[in-house]
Chains A and B, each alone.
Chain A
Amino acid sequence: MRLAIFFFLLLLGLESSSSAASDISGKVFFDGAAPESVKLDMKMDPACAKLYSGPVFSEEALVSSAGGLKNVFVYVKEGLEGRSFPAAETPVVLNQEGCRYSPRVFGIQTGQILELTNRDATIHNVRATAKEQNSFNLGMPMKQMKMTRQFEKQEVMVPFKCDVHPWMRAYAGVLDHPFFAVTDESGAFTLRGLPAGDYTLEAWHEKFGTRPLKVTVTEGAETPAAEFRFSAS
C-alpha cells in the first residue's frame, strides 16, 4: 500500500513538473545577401594543408539558401535570477580536428567539465580569453592529447583561439543554467524544459552581434516560435 502511494506521488510530481516546463523552438535568419566566406590559407602548417584537397573557407558566417544562420548562440539572458541549476555531468567536448575547432560555437554550464582534445597530427595551443574569470593558454602538442578545464562564472562569450593556426576560432557561452542552444545549418534551435515565466532571450553571433527577444512561457500552453533576424548593418 505504502509503495503504491509512493509511486502515485512520484507520478504526480513528474506530471506537474512536465506541465510546468516548456520548450522554445525557433529560427535565426540573416536578411540580405549572404556574406562571402573568406578563403583560409593553411600553407603555414603542411600538416593542416594536406588534410584538404580543395579550398577551405572560414565558418565565420554560414547562411543557408533559405536564409538560416548557423552557429548562433541562443540563451536565456534574464528571467532565471535566484534559481539554481546543477551543472550537467556530461563533459562538453571541444575538438581540434582538421585544424579547426569543432564545435565552433557551444554552450557550457559553470562547473561543467570542458574536455579539450587534439585529434590532429600537429601542434595546437588553446587560448581562452575570458573577462570574468582566469584566461588560459594550453599547449597541446600531441595527437589524442586531452585536457580539461572548468569555468566558474557566467560569461557570454569566451573566445577560444589557436595562436599557432590563426584561423582557428571557437566561442563558448558560459551560463549558470542549462537553457541555451546553438543554431544548426538551417538556423533552427530549441531551448528545452524552460519553466513557466517571463524571459529575455538573446541571440549572439560572432560577426553580427546580439539580438534580444522577450518571451513568456505559460504553464500548459504551447510557446510560440521565436524568431531572430540579423543583418550585415
Chain B
Amino acid sequence: MKTRSGRLELLSFFLVGCVFFLLMAGGLVTSHDAGLAVPDWPLSYGTWMPPMVGNIFWEHGHRMIAGFVALLTLFTAVCIQRSPEPGWIKKLAWTGVVLVTLQALLGGMTVLMLLPPPVSISHACLGQTFFCLTIALAYYLSPASRKSGLQGEDPLLVRKLMRLTLLTFLFVYLQLILGAVVRHTGKAVYEHMGFALAVVAHVVLVQLAVSRLTDARSPLKPAARILAALTLLQIVLGAGAFVFTQMIQRQGPAAPLHEVVFASAHHTNGALVIGLAALIFVMSRPAPFGSHRLKAAV
C-alpha cells in the first residue's frame, strides 16, 4: 500500500504528464491555425460539447484537456493542503492553481480578442512556466529531493553550478519568449536562431560543470546529458520548422503535415528542454527552501 506521500508523488507526476500533453495539444492548435475555430469562450458554440469537426477538434480538444488539467491541479493542491507537507510546498501547489487559472483566462482572452500577439505570447509562455512549476512540485514531493546529491562537493563548484543552472534556465526561458514571438507574429526569426547559440553554450557549460561532481551517481549527470541531447534535437527540429514554415511557401490553404509535424515537435521538445532546465536548476540547489520536510506516512 502506498503511503500518503507516495500517492502525492504519483499524483504530481501524473499532473506533469497531463500538463505536457496539454502543451502538446496547445502547440497543435497553433500549428493547425485553429485558435479561432471556436469563436466563443468559455463555452464552445454555446455548448460544452460542439461537434468535433474540422479545426474545432484541435481547439475544443485543447479546451477539454485544459479543463481536466485545471481540475487536476486544484485536486492536487487540495490533497497537498490536507497532507503534513511543509507550508512552502502547499504554497507552491496553490501557486499552480493561480497559474492555471490565469492561463485559462489568457486562453479565453486570446480567443475573444482574436489572437492579439501580446496575449497569445503570454499564453504560450505562461503555459510553459506552469509546466516548470509542476515539475518542481513533483521533484520536491519525490524521495529524490530528500537526498541532496551535492553534499561533500566542492563549495565553489556548487556555487558555480547554482549560478550556471539558474542562468541556463533564464536563457532557455528567454529563448521560449523569442520562440513564442516567432510563432505568433512571424518576427524575430533570426534573433531566435542566434539566441540558440547562447543556450547551447550554457547547456555545454552545465554539462562540463556537472562532470566535475565527485559523486558518480549524482542524478544531475544524466539530467545534464539528456538536456544536451534534447537541445541538439531542438536545433534539428528548429531547422526543420524554419525550412517548412519560413522558406517553403504553402501550396494550399491548410497547413501541410510536414509543417505541422516540425513546428509542433519543435514546440513540444522546447517544453521538455525548459522543463528539464528547470529541474536541473532545482536539483542543483542544496536545500533551497529548507529540506526539513516531514516524511508523511498514512
Contacts and interface: CB of A to CB of B under 8 A. Distances in A.
Interface of A: 38-41, 44-48, 58, 122-123, 125, 127, 129, 135, 137-139, 141, 163-169
Interface string B251-275: 1111100000000000000000000
19 contacts: A38-B252, A40-B252, A41-B252, A41-B254, A44-B55, A44-B57, A46-B53, A122-B51, A123-B54, A125-B36, A125-B37, A125-B39, A127-B114, A137-B114, A139-B38, A139-B39, A141-B50, A163-B33, A163-B35
Nearest to B253: A167
Contacts of A46: 53
A166 B33 contact: yes
B56 interface: yes
B75 interface: no
A166 B254 CA distance: 6
Given A139-B46, A164-B55, 8 more contacts: A58-B252, A58-B253, A123-B54, A129-B114, A139-B38, A139-B40, A139-B45, A141-B46
| A interface, over-half SS | loop
A159 to B, nearest CB: 12
Chain B interface residue bracket vs A: 20 to 34
B36 to A, nearest CB: 5
Nearest to A46: B53
A138 B40 CA distance: 8
A165 B252 contact: no
Nearest first, the 3 A-B pairs at minimum CB distance are A164-B54, A163-B37, A137-B39
A137 B32 CA distance: 17
A41 B252 CA distance: 9
A38 B249 CA distance: 13
B205 to A, nearest CB: 44
Nearest to A166: B254
Nearest to A165: B54
A137 B51 CA distance: 18
Interface in B17-42: 32-40
B132 to A, nearest CB: 30
Contacts of B114: 127, 129, 135, 137
Nearest to B45: A141
A142 to B, nearest CB: 9
Contacts of A41: 252, 254
Contacts of A40: 252-253
Nearest to A134: B114
A123 B56 contact: yes
Q: Which interface residue of A41, A129, A141 has the most chain B CB atoms within 10 A?
A: A141
A38 B252 CA distance: 6
B36 A163 contact: yes
Contacts of B50: 123, 141
Nearest to A38: B252
Nearest to B44: A139
A41 B95 CA distance: 44
A48 B32 CA distance: 18
Contacts of A164: 37, 53-56
Q: Which interface residue of B35, B39, B40 has the most chain A CB atoms within 10 A?
A: B39
B253 A123 contact: no
Interface in B29-82: 32-40, 45-46, 50-51, 53-57
A137 B53 CA distance: 18
Contacts of B40: 139
Contacts of A139: 38-40, 45-46
Contacts of B255: 166
A166 B53 contact: no
Contacts of B37: 125, 163-164
Given A40-B252, A141-B45, A167-B253, A122 B53 contact: yes
Nearest to A135: B114
Contacts of A163: 33-37, 55
Contacts of A165: 54-55
A123 B46 contact: no
A167 B54 CA distance: 11
A47 B53 contact: yes
Nearest to A137: B39
Contact of A123 (B32, B35, B45, B252): B45
Nearest to B43: A139
Nearest to A169: B253
B53 A44 contact: yes
Contacts of A44: 53-55, 57
Contacts of A166: 32-33, 54-55, 253-255
B252 A45 contact: no
Given A139-B45, A141-B46, A166-B254, A125 B53 contact: no
A51 B206 CA distance: 58
